[in-house]
Amino acid sequence: MTDQATRGARRGRRRGRLPAVLAVPAFVGLAFLVVPLAGLLVRAPWSTLTEQLLSAEVGQALALSLVCASLATAVCVVLGVPLAWLLARGDLPGRGVLRALVTVPLVLPPVVGGVALLLVLGRRGLVGQYLHDWFGISLPFTTAGVVVAEAFVAMPFLVIAVEGALRAADPRYEEAAATLGASRWLTFRRVTLPSIAPGVVAGTVLCWARALGEFGATITFAGNFPGKTTTMPLAVYLALETDPGAAIVLSIVLLIVSIVVLVSLRDRWLRGLS
């Protein structure tokens, strides 16, 4: 078969009818993900929507959410990209174990993550007691605590994405750079990083989205106080108990903000990936 024929056959197959065995579950899956979001829109209190949107609490919670998620993402990039590099390229003993440990926060219930953070970084925690005694720093119940909790939960997403990109990247370019006398740091900066840029961006976006929606670790570690630690997810949860309408408005705001950010980033950065 010639190259052209292969390509033609492949294109033909792609155009063919979707097999029902795939199509049916695919559409059920799609409905499963989309219908609840539609439900939010249907039940939204449209008559009081603008009033609720302009209320001080919503603005405060949204601003806090955006700031904290962005700071947490910055922390994750600064620490997570080198960590991914270490896992993919470093020759450490027990790399498999390390990789498993790094991904633990992915499977850990976030509330447990929050408790773990309290036990380590709290005022009486393993590390926190020294922070408190020596520097007067106490992370729980502060905005910094929110950033810490979000970064803890979101970092594995970034590390996994970047590590995957690193493993897929051709190490021969790095070897070539090394044989030409480049140091490892120069090689990382000028060769490795540009080649994995899409992976880093994808990981960053995932990480940001996860941080924005973080609830369990945040409420456990950072507590809940309006303007200081009440992010959107916490505000949604508490509003749900007294004023479901307000909870829906908050959810829609969060939904719209995340969709706008994700779509604009996708158009700008991720086109090459898909």
Examine residue 237 and tell whether it contacts another protein (CB under 8 A).
yes
Examine residue 137 and tell whether it contacts another protein (CB under 8 A).
no
With residue 254 as reference, give the H or E element that holds it.
Answer: helix 244-265
Q: What are phi and psi of 246, to 5 degrees?
A: -65, -35
CB of 61 to another protein, least distance (A): 13
Q: Which stretch binds another protein (CB under 8 A): 9-17, 170-178, 188-196, 217-225?
A: 217-225
Q: Which is nearer to another protein, 83 or 239 (CB)?
A: 239
Q: What is the largest CA-CA distance in the chain?
A: 75
**Dihedral sign from CA coordinates of 113, 114, 118, 121:** positive
Among 124, 184, 189, 190, binds another protein (CB under 8 A): 124
Q: Which stretch binds another protein (CB under 8 A): 5-13, 97-105, 136-144, 146-154?
A: 136-144
Examine residue 68 and tell whether it contacts another protein (CB under 8 A).
no
Q: What are phi and psi of 123, to 5 degrees?
A: -60, -30
Examine residue 112 and tell whether it contacts another protein (CB under 8 A).
no
Examine residue 118 and tell whether it contacts another protein (CB under 8 A).
yes
Examine residue 233 and tell whether it contacts another protein (CB under 8 A).
no
CA 151 to chain centre: 9
**Dihedral sign from CA coordinates of 216, 221, 225, 229:** negative
- Per-residue contact track with another protein, 177 to 206, x per CB under 8 A? ------------------------------
Q: Which is nearer to another protein, 7 or 43 (CB)?
A: 43
d(CA 242, CA 248): 12
Q: How far is CA 35 from CA 25, 26, 38, 43, 232, in A?
A: 15, 14, 5, 12, 22
Residues 6+ positions from 151 with CB-CB distance below 8 Å: 72, 73, 75, 76, 79, 211
Among 224, 255, 262, 269, binds another protein (CB under 8 A): 224
What residues line the site for another protein (CB under 8 A)?
A: 115, 118-119, 122-124, 138, 140-141, 219-220, 222-226, 229, 237-238, 240-242, 244
